Amino acid sequence: MLMVTRVPAALLVDTVSVTPYTGEGSHGPQYGTSAAVACLLTERTQLVRAPDGREVTSGASYITTPDHAPPPGSLVTLPGGRQTTVITVQRVGQGLPVPANSEVMLQ
């Protein structure tokens, strides 16, 4: 029996552009270099808890490889051109008999 340890690449049919949040500067938020990320995107409204404990409405989420972890506040451009921000990132399935992945919740 073949054990899948990562989400299969064949399932990552969407591409988003992620610009990582690097901190605050004298002129506001600072960002790094954008990178394309293969993922499985779901546009669905749901309530999630932000890192500071607030309940926030998420309008989309995506799963991708388990090593992907953009900081909260990072900018994400969806395939249709809509730009949103990362609320939370959760690593799923590490050490379990299911495919490991990162789930990124977007505002």
Length of the chain: 107
Q: For position 100, which CATH number holds?
A: 2.40.10
The structural domain count of the chain equals 1
Examine residue 70 and state whether it is found in any structural domain, yes or no: yes
pLDDT at 4 over 70: no
Strands (E), 1-107: 14-19, 21-25, 28-31, 35-42, 46-49, 55-58, 60-64, 75-77, 83-92, 101-106
Q: Is the pTM of this model over 0.85?
A: yes
Examine residue 100 and state whether it is found in any structural domain, yes or no: yes
**pLDDT tens digits along 26-85:** 999 999 999 999 999 999 999 999 999 999 999 999 999 999 999 999 999 999 999 999
**pLDDT tens digits along 16-42:** 999 999 999 999 999 999 999 999 999
pLDDT at 93 over 90: no
pLDDT at 103 over 70: yes
Examine residue 95 and state whether it is found in any structural domain, yes or no: yes
Examine residue 2 and state whether it is found in any structural domain, yes or no: no
What's the pLDDT score for residue 88?
97
Examine residue 4 and state whether it is found in any structural domain, yes or no: no
pLDDT at 100 over 80: yes
* pLDDT-derived band at 5, boundaries 50, 70, 90: confident
Question: Is-contact 7 100, C-beta < 8 A?
Answer: yes
Q: Which domain holds residue 70?
A: 9-106
Examine residue 60 and state whether it is found in any structural domain, yes or no: yes
